[in-house]
Amino acid sequence: MDLLYRFEGTLGDVAPVGLAPHGLRIDIPFTGRLTEGVLGDGPAHGTEYLLQRRDGVGVIDARDTFAIPGGFLHARAHGFVRPPADVAPPPLEAMLDPAYEAPDLPLAIDGFALCETGVPAFEHLNRVLVKIDGWVNNGTGELVFEGRAAHATRRRRHPAGGSVPLAPADPAWTVAS
């Protein structure tokens, strides 16, 4: 998989929206830089609209904006923040307490992003699914994640034998995972 970017940054002030039917809704701004990858070295920021579930898993719905050579790239990220298996999550009600302090503990990030840009050199990313892997430490405010695009054309078996592409062999139909 090709490394598109590595983001290194910090979390801003957490804005708890409140308890919702499926967990605690929290908005978390973040800022930092792209430090590696083909998208260059530039400032980046975004907001994570997180749903923290009672089982400790956070459901990610984030919007990121990256300064890239020639303009900007917007990424819509979705995925999960997972605590280590041996760590019990705090009660959601405790996380609403203004005195709550998140533990100094790295949590794994697994997800994907869809990108949009008008920069001609990177317009192919408008048709690529980007795999996101990283970690966040809510106790220290550190956030690190990488986005990679893998190119593979999915295939299915043809009733007459052999296999056929699920999509045309056009770069616009490239599937990344």
Determine the Cα–Cα distance for residues 26 and 3; give it in Å rounded to an integer.
29
Positive/negative CA dihedral, 131, 136, 141, 143: negative
pTM of this prediction? 0.83
CA dist 103 → 1, 12, 42, 164 (Å): 33, 16, 30, 51
* Residue 173 counted as domain residue: no
Number of domains in the chain: 1
Cα 128 to chain center, whole Å? 14
φ/ψ of residue 124, rounded to 5? -60, -25
Q: Residue 142 is part of which domain span?
A: 2-151
CATH code assigned at 13: 2.40.160.20
pLDDT tens profile 22-71: 999 999 999 999 999 999 899 999 999 999 999 999 999 999 999 999 99
149 pLDDT more than 80? yes
Q: How confident is the model at residue 129 (pLDDT cuts 50, 70, 90)?
A: very high
Does residue 164 lie in a domain region?
A: no
CB atoms under 10 Å from CB of 1, counted, come to: 15
User: Quick one: DSSP state of residue 167?
Assistant: S
